[in-house]
Structure 1
Amino acid sequence: MRFQALNRMVRLSALPLGIAGRAGLASGLKVLGRLTDESALELHERTADQLFEVLGGLRGGVMKFGQVLSVYEAVLPPSISDVYRERLARLQDAARPESVDMVYRVMAQDIGPTWQDLFASFEFDAAAAASLGQVHRAVWHDGRSVAVKLQYPDAREQLLGDRDLLVFAMRWFTSLVAPELDGRALAVELMDRIAEELDYEHEAQAQSTFRSGFSTDSDFHIPEVILQNGGVLVSEWIDGTPLAQIISSGSQTERDRAGLLLTRLMFSGIPRCGLMHGDPHPGNFRLQDDGRLGVLDFGAVHHHSPGTESPLQKWMRIHLADDSEQLLHILRELEFLPPGIRVDAERLKDLFARTGAPVHTDLFKFDAAYLRDALGGLTASMPVGLSLAFPPNLVQAQRALGVAIGVLCQLEAEVPFRDEGIRWLSPTLQNQSHSQY
């Protein structure tokens, strides 16, 4: 065990050092006037190759780090983003599974020594390997196809061990490819939320709540929970085209359909079941032949307090503000702007006009240009943005919203984003919207 831990530390340590070295080389070439498009592309290719090699072979938080990067690659210039898209998207489906011995050990420990009697058949080759566990396809004793999710026995230990180095690596990576992003803050929040995903009982409860809330909706397929104990979760198996495949080669009709349903899931989760899906990366969705969106992985969810305004209601109200004065009033009311703090209202309005572009048109085309403009606005408005106090209880929901928007940009989907939001949110928000349009 000590040798394995040392090996992980050595491999992880090489990641920030390699990125830092290439960042220094890039700066030197730029000063000397020798940083050509070709040499810059080569530097990014080397970085992407190292990220894939190191992150793809390790467990815990490192794989989540790779998944986040594969979403946020849309902020990069097209020639560079293609490099990271091709390498890092593979992390969502290409983690290396554990041995058959591990499967026997976990199943016997958590289900019992006669666990195989519960199945008509069980495929020991993993159907998918994720950051904290892997999934096996099987047939339940009553003939139903099921997905058996197993948590790696050392997932918690490795997650905690990776934390500091992953935060360090993400900070260096963003300084190289997207300095406008706060890589450290993103990594810290990400690792905290991943810790919650180790509780499969919590995940099973959330999945069942989602299934109940969406039971009458013909647009979504939430798999049924069949059995959960310890580090084992057995659910109904669902087929379909992975969203990553739609992103890489789907038709525009498929892209728009997937984008619409992802948007609808995001806005309707809290009104229907008091939860918001907290990990909307492409690997967690399947577009099925009948047009439904299959939804997987409920380990990370935002729990909403009944009777209070939801994070998405707040986000919509802020971005639908008529003018700078109304914006300031809403920000103070929602405690985003502390009492007594004076800010440049026009610059603040410009900031939210960029990030909130999807709510100012009937149909919005999500793409990399929008995401770069929104992030560029955050950078340009950094002094005024720092005046805002982001409520801690909204961090998880805001991250989920940000990741979902990143996926919509990858899909290049055209979506009635504003109308979907208004459809599921409060009458107050509907009145605010109707006053503008």
Structure 2
Amino acid sequence: MTDIPRRTAVRTAKLARLPLGAAGRAAAGWGRRLVGGERDEISAQIMQRSAEELFAVLGELKGGAMKFGQALSVFEAAVPEEFAKPFRESLVKLQTSAPPMRFSEVSRVLAEQFGRGWVTRFVEFDETPAASASIGQVHRAVWKGRGGAPDRVVAVKVQYPGADEALRSDLRQLSRMSRLLQPLAPGLEIKPLIAELRQRMEEELDYRDEADNQRAFAAAYDGDEQVRIPKVVASAPKAIVTEWVSGRKLSDVIADGTQEERNTAAALLAEFHYSAPARVGLLHADPHPGNFQMADDGRLLVVDFGAVARLPDGLPRALADMTKLALEDRPQELITLMRQEGFVLPQTPVTGEEALAFLAPFTEPLRTEVFRFNRRWLQSQAERIGDLRSPQFHTGREFNLPPQHLLVHRVTLGTLGVLCQLDADVALRAIVQRWQPWIFED
């Protein structure tokens, strides 16, 4: 598109507002403290306005900016409680909503992808989008049955024009600003998150890849009593048509679900996370709550398969072996394995006992039959690792994350973050034992 350079410059300018605005508000806050303002009240006001601006800018820009915001929403539970509320409200909005594109643009993209007569494939097509996301928006429609097949209610996801360049431009700019953006998300490591998003963004731009991923998941979970994956009806590089599914948003369960509802949702999400690599050879790699719903029949509805980790042999055995050694309190064997697998580089002075302490967030939930995941627990883990005075902070700086494990690590952390948002009791030990039994074998 001829106006992409101009639009890119505008996007860059808007992104630049975020750290500058945060810095200005922080300076003003210090000024008010000097004249007697309450520290906590002023900090809360600053974070409230920063969160509102974060949502306004990232939601408006879509692309990589919104993708970044969605990734942050997964880790919202780790944000200190005094800052959490405004970020919680603002980031949750990014999970399923963004300003829509005009239907004339939708029609043009569909004509490019399915031909000028694309409309004849449908009995009905709702011009108002049902949902908007980072690189595309979804419309409800009725797909015309052919050869005696019945008509079907479908979801039509259409990619925004110029989404590819917007995604690349946003993530380049966010990467440059990662240090300045850090105050917008206290307790989180921004730079590695942006780097990982940049590495996997290309696979999300071709909806044919997403369709192939979704077909694989749908086949593996066909008829499953716990998980439902909508089937793919048609696909093209920038448009995908799937079965329409609807249920209660996971964000709504997080906000006002009963304890039983939250426990059920958390158990289904954990089961899906640990079972998919073994059943499909793939791991759903976008675990923010906007991609999950609870169906009326009690199943977990899962959508958006643009980002996956390819694990043909299931979850990496090295990670399972590390978990087993940590659970069995075998520090010397643990540190030896971590050095062999590249998690600890040669000549790095990390002891087995330090490795055991650092891995606590991954092993603690497996040491009991039922574990309560909540924000308080995750915040304590984030503080332990992020506090400059903590031994685990210095230990963490000595660890290395091999590239082949990067995505699995982030998705597992993200899933734990959602479980903590649900404030749920989960029998995680039994779930992991079902799909990685060797961890608990003698």
TM category, shorter: over 0.9
Once the 2 structures are TM-superposed, how far is the Cα of residue 356 of structure 1 from its aligned partner?
2.6
Partner of 2:433: 422
Once the 2 structures are TM-superposed, how far is the Cα of residue 359 of structure 1 from its aligned partner?
1.2
1:84 equivalent to 2:87? Answer: yes
The number of aligned residues is 430
Once the 2 structures are TM-superposed, how far is the Cα of residue 413 of structure 1 from its aligned partner?
1.3
Once the 2 structures are TM-superposed, how far is the Cα of residue 216 of structure 1 from its aligned partner?
4.0
Whole-angstrom distance in 2 between the partners of 1:319 and 1:98? 50
Whole-angstrom distance in 2 between the partners of 1:63 and 1:314? 36
Partner of 1:204: 211
Whole-angstrom distance in 2 between the partners of 1:307 and 1:408? 22
Whole-angstrom distance in 2 between the partners of 1:8 and 1:372? 33
Partner of 2:96: 93
Partner of 1:392: 403
Equivalent position SS for 2:61: coil
Which among 362, 376, 391 is matched to residue 369 of structure 2? 362
Whole-angstrom distance in 2 between the partners of 1:60 and 1:372? 29
Partner of 1:173: 181
Equivalent position SS for 1:385: helix
Partner of 1:39: 42
- Whether contact under 8 Å (1:26, 1:35) holds in the other structure is no
Equivalent position SS for 2:335: helix
Whole-angstrom distance in 2 between the partners of 1:414 and 1:308? 24
Which one-letter code corresponds to 1:347 in the other structure? E
Once the 2 structures are TM-superposed, how far is the Cα of residue 384 of structure 1 from its aligned partner?
2.0
Whole-angstrom distance in 2 between the partners of 1:13 and 1:201? 34
Task: Let me know the Cα RMSD of the aligned residues.
Answer: 2.1
Which among 235, 239, 244 is matched to residue 251 of structure 2? 244
Partner of 1:154: 162
Superposed counterparts of 1:21-170, under 5 Å? 21-26=24-29, 34=37, 36-142=39-145, 143-170=151-178
Once the 2 structures are TM-superposed, how far is the Cα of residue 103 of structure 1 from its aligned partner?
0.9
Whole-angstrom distance in 2 between the partners of 1:240 and 1:310? 35
| TM-score (norm. length: structure 2) | 0.91
Of 318-327 and 208-217, more deviation after overlay is shown by 318-327
Once the 2 structures are TM-superposed, how far is the Cα of residue 388 of structure 1 from its aligned partner?
2.1
Whole-angstrom distance in 2 between the partners of 1:355 and 1:175? 26
C-alpha distance after superposition, 1:301-345 (max 9, x if no partner): 000143883576356335424232232233234332234433233
Equivalent position SS for 2:167: helix
Which among 1, 4, 12 is matched to residue 9 of structure 1? 12
Whole-angstrom distance in 1 between the partners of 2:99 and 2:325? 43
Of 402-411 and 383-392, more deviation after overlay is shown by 383-392
- Whether contact under 8 Å (1:256, 1:414) holds in the other structure is yes
The verdict on how the C-alpha distance between 1:237 and 1:21 changes in structure 2, with shifts beyond 3 A counting, is: same
Which one-letter code corresponds to 2:352 in the other structure? A
Which one-letter code corresponds to 2:190 in the other structure? G
The verdict on how the C-alpha distance between 1:308 and 1:136 changes in structure 2, with shifts beyond 3 A counting, is: closer
The verdict on how the C-alpha distance between 1:315 and 1:55 changes in structure 2, with shifts beyond 3 A counting, is: farther
Partner of 2:148: none
Equivalent position SS for 1:257: helix
The verdict on how the C-alpha distance between 1:114 and 1:408 changes in structure 2, with shifts beyond 3 A counting, is: same
The verdict on how the C-alpha distance between 1:363 and 1:27 changes in structure 2, with shifts beyond 3 A counting, is: farther
- Whether contact under 8 Å (2:278, 2:313) holds in the other structure is no
Whole-angstrom distance in 1 between the partners of 2:301 and 2:96? 16
Which one-letter code corresponds to 1:145 in the other structure? V
Of 38-47 and 1-10, more deviation after overlay is shown by 1-10
Point out where structure 1 has 5 or more consecutive residues left out of the alignment. none
Identity of aligned residues (%): 38
Equivalent position SS for 1:136: strand
- Whether contact under 8 Å (1:311, 1:397) holds in the other structure is no
Equivalent position SS for 2:309: strand
Which one-letter code corresponds to 1:430 in the other structure? F
Once the 2 structures are TM-superposed, how far is the Cα of residue 394 of structure 1 from its aligned partner?
1.0
- Whether contact under 8 Å (2:265, 2:300) holds in the other structure is yes
The verdict on how the C-alpha distance between 1:170 and 1:413 changes in structure 2, with shifts beyond 3 A counting, is: farther
Once the 2 structures are TM-superposed, how far is the Cα of residue 261 of structure 1 from its aligned partner?
0.7
Of 42-51 and 185-194, more deviation after overlay is shown by 185-194
Which one-letter code corresponds to 1:96 in the other structure? P
- Whether contact under 8 Å (1:278, 1:302) holds in the other structure is yes
The verdict on how the C-alpha distance between 1:40 and 1:203 changes in structure 2, with shifts beyond 3 A counting, is: same
Once the 2 structures are TM-superposed, how far is the Cα of residue 117 of structure 1 from its aligned partner?
1.1
Of 192-201 and 301-310, more deviation after overlay is shown by 301-310
Which one-letter code corresponds to 2:440 in the other structure? Q
Once the 2 structures are TM-superposed, how far is the Cα of residue 221 of structure 1 from its aligned partner?
0.5
Of 217-226 and 71-80, more deviation after overlay is shown by 71-80
Once the 2 structures are TM-superposed, how far is the Cα of residue 9 of structure 1 from its aligned partner?
2.0
